[in-house]
Structure 1
Amino acid sequence: MSQFNSISDLLRNSGAQFRIFDMGRRISKISSGQFEKLEQGMIPYPTPYLHHAWLALMLWNTKDKQQNVVWFLKFPLDEQGFLVQAVRDDFLNRLMQNISQMLQKENLDQTNDALKDNPFSFTPEQEKMAMFHAQSAVIINQPPSQFYKDTKAYFSGDLGWDNWSSIGYQGVADLTARIEDGNNNSYILNAIPELPVEPLSALCTCLEHIEIDHRVAQALSKRIEQLLQQEQDGNVNLLASLLRGLSNSHSEELKKAAIQKTLSSPYAHKAEVLVAIATRCNLSLQYPELLSLYLEKLAISEAGQTGFSRILADLMFIPVMRVLILQAFRNPERSDSLAKAIGEMFGTSFESDTNSSPK
């Protein structure tokens, strides 16, 4: 049995500084107090993704960088979205067994991994890992990557907008993580109208992890409007990236307008766009009129019935979204296509209940 009763207990007694991040829909900080309440089952996990809590535990020693470590952990949640206590205890037991074995061998170099063979560890996708590295470097006062200098020069406009192939995705992540340093915010703001597809997409997938200011949000909104005005065979992936880049803005009106226009365009049936809205812009879907429009488009999209069911199963795991979606399902003005998709997802009994229930 572990000598620690919780992960919070382990972190506090590690002797290291630590920080906890959610790694699900986007990278965001979780306070130690909030995490402790999550562990104790006092509150549900606030941002579940695919029915799991995706976490990064970052521990560092200001005097010895060799002791810095990051654990990426994926824990299943129960039907109410709470952390499963037995799973947490299993993780701790496995972790302490590995550490005990390492101590017995007296071999504690960095090639040993305390999470070796731990079923709760995971490796983030490459883009998210790059942004996490960039943000963690800022936190522990480490320098950015070797790509940072060239990336700054490119985004300043000095290299020419077509000369982007050598800047590196990590450089874009570093620039984004350090957006408040020097002229970086101005560089990004002035570059957005000019950027070719590839560097703009890379920038957007980094911007979704930080809180952008209103000017940057407006610049992204204009690129979305320009793309929507083009022919139907425009760049679907770029539009999805732009929506992701805008998603963490505080400007609800800009986000709502962008989503509304997107769902009223030929792009509304594209799976990549609908997934981006559901996974990154879910807060905006709390507006009933926008949610109803989204559900109608999802029901007839190229994602098909499988996509409809999977996307909504993930969204409905968020308690507030579940209530709102169920209310939308019972809307007497819903289309036959949406009613059919609901029936396929839940069975014909649910569809019959919604048809016969009081409106």
Structure 2
Amino acid sequence: MTQLSSISKLLQQSGAQFRIFDMGRRISKLTTDQFDKFEQGLIPYPTPYLHHAWLALMLWNPKHKQQNVVWFLKFPLDEQGFLVQAVRDDFLGRLMQNIQQMLDNNAISEANDALKDNPFSFTPDQEKMAMFHAIAAHITQQPASQFLAGAKAYFSGDLGWDQWSGVGYQGIADLVADLESQQQYLLNAIPNIPSEPLVALATCLEHSKPDHKIAEALLARLKKAIAEPEQASLVAALLRGLSNTHSDTLRSQALQLTLNSQYQGSAEVMAAIATRCNESLQHPELLHLFLERLAVSEAGQAGFSRILADLMFIPVMRILVLQQFRNENRSEALSKAVGAMFGKKFS
């Protein structure tokens, strides 16, 4: 069997249709051109998370779309965010060895076995897996799960807003995956549902692109939540749900409100902002406010350093954060936190 020189060539020669997803901060599509340039070492990974590229490679038979396979892969990145070529080569070598063994044993029927014992494979958490299944079914025009009907019944309001315990997370994910046609269910429910199903909905919405109507409904719930005690988890979830909306204005407003609220020091909220709202943090005034709040948050110095080490791994964010670190108007608290992270000689 011919040794392949790249994952891109493997996909192109498979004869299958395929799509590549980033699985790090949120589920999002990667173009084949982006992936090919990343694999060749021409560009850094566009959306690194915890110093890794988290990928899903989905392949399906164009004539029988229900015949598909998904490989979840996690590759370490170098200090500049590029793929380590030796890691890619190691992955391909292990993959080809497993495929050859499957051919020798006439066991090619299970394509997922090609990743057996591969150190670069991973399993997404249950919430992200549910959303991925929903997205994959929508792309390949397969039926949604059996849980969709129950989710529709609940989000329509017919069951009563307190009857959420029987609603499956997969059903909510199926609703969100088909957001364009199912939007009215969400608009009907967001103002009314209790915190628990709202958290589930918001954590699904971070993988979609809600329009301004859904974003406005989420923002109204956020305003209510930040005025109440002990709602940090809900506030964090709502920020995640708003993080990928088309409206930059609404996203920025949500961050401003939160960072000036009683939850400005919540470690959970700070982590949600850093990991999901990095596009909004490209606004200098929001980034400055976030850094000032993070420096005195309950995350402490360890949390400050961990959160920023991950955020600064995104090339554009590294430049912007360093600019804020050198801002003459930074507080003493931020200066101390920066000094503890980089050393007192940082300037």
TM-score (norm 2): 0.97
Matches of 2:121 and 2:309, distance apart in 1: 24
Residue in structure 2 matched with residue 29 of structure 1 by the alignment: 29
Following superposition, the deviation at residue 197 of structure 1 comes to 0.7
Structure 1 residue runs of 5 or longer lacking an equivalent are 355-359
Question: Residues 133-144 of structure 1 correspond to what in structure 2 (within 5 A)?
Answer: 133-144=133-144
1:343 and 2:339 aligned: yes
Q: Would the aligned equivalents of 2:191 and 2:217 in 1 still touch at CA under 8 Å?
A: yes
Question: Which whole-Å deviations, capped at 9, do the CAs of 1:266-285 have from their partners, x for residues lacking one?
Answer: 10100110000000000111
The Cα shift of 1:240 comes to 0.3
Which residue in the other structure is 1:20 paired with? 20
Answering whether residue 265 of structure 2 is matched by residue 259 of structure 1, we say no
Shift of 1:332: 1.4
Offset of residue 67 of structure 1:
4.2
**Which consecutive segments of 4 or more residues in structure 1 shift more than 3 A?**
62-67
Q: Deviations over 1:130-153 (max 9, x none)?
A: 000000001111111111011111
For residues 92-111 of structure 1, what are the structure 2 equivalents within 5 Å?
A: 92-110=92-110
Residue matched to 1:207: 205
Shift of 1:347: 1.2
For the residues of structure 2 that align with 1:335 and 1:16, how far apart are their CA atoms?
A: 56
- Which residue does 1:357 correspond to in 2? none
Partner of residue 78, structure 2: 78
Which residue is 1:188 aligned to?
186
Alignment partners' CA distance in 1, 2:212 and 2:259: 23
The separation in 1 between residues aligned to 2:308 and 2:73, in whole angstroms, is 24
Aligned alpha-carbon RMSD (Å): 1.3
Match of 1:224 among 204, 209, 222: 222
Shift of residue 341, structure 1, vs aligned partner: 0.7
- Deviation, structure 1 residue 109: 3.2
Equivalence map 1:157-306=2 (5 Å) = 157-181=157-181, 184-230=182-228, 233-306=229-302
Post-superposition shift, 1:254?
0.8
Contact 2:66–2:142 at 8 Å: present in 1 too? no
CA distance in 2, matches of 1:294, 1:147: 39
Counterpart code for 1:315: L
In structure 1, what is the Cα distance between the partners aligned to 2:138 and 2:244?
20
2:65 is the alignment partner of 1:69: no
- Structure 2: which amino acid aligns with 1:164? W
Deviation at 1:212, TM superposition (A): 0.7
Is the Cα–Cα contact under 8 Å of residues 209 and 246 in structure 2 kept in the other structure? yes
Measured after TM superposition, the shift of residue 178 of structure 1 is: 1.2
Question: Deviation of residue 68 (structure 1)?
Answer: 1.3
Aligned: 1:311 with 2:307: yes
**SS of corresponding position for 2:18:** strand
Amino acid at match of 1:316: M
Give 1:225 deviation, angstroms.
0.7
Q: d(CA) in 2 for partners of 1:112 and 1:160?
A: 42
Counterparts of 1:323 and 1:273 in 2: how far apart (Å)? Answer: 23
User: AA paired with 2:95?
Assistant: L
Identity of counterpart residues, as a percentage?
A: 68
Quickly say closer, same or farther: Cα 1:158–1:322, change in 2 above 3 A: same
Cα offset for 1:112? 6.0
Deviations 1:273-302 (A, max 9, x none): 000000000011111111111111101111
Q: Is the 8 A contact 1:24 1:53 kept in 2?
A: yes
Give the letter aligned to residue 204 of structure 2.
C
2:210 is paired with a residue whose SS is coil
> Unaligned 5+ residue runs, structure 2?
none
8 Å CA contact 1:2, 1:92 repeated in 2: no
SS where residue 291 of structure 2 aligns? helix
Once residues 203 and 2 of structure 2 are traced to their aligned partners in structure 1, the CA distance between those partners, rounded to angstroms, is: 39
> Do 1:102 and 1:112's aligned partners in 2 also have CA atoms closer than 8 Å?
no
- Partner secondary structure for residue 348 of structure 1: coil
Q: Which amino acid aligns with 1:30?
A: L
Distance 1:108 1:67, change over 3 A: farther
Query: Aligned AA for 1:278?
Result: A
Shift of 1:94: 0.4
More divergent stretch after superposition (76-85 vs 15-24): 76-85
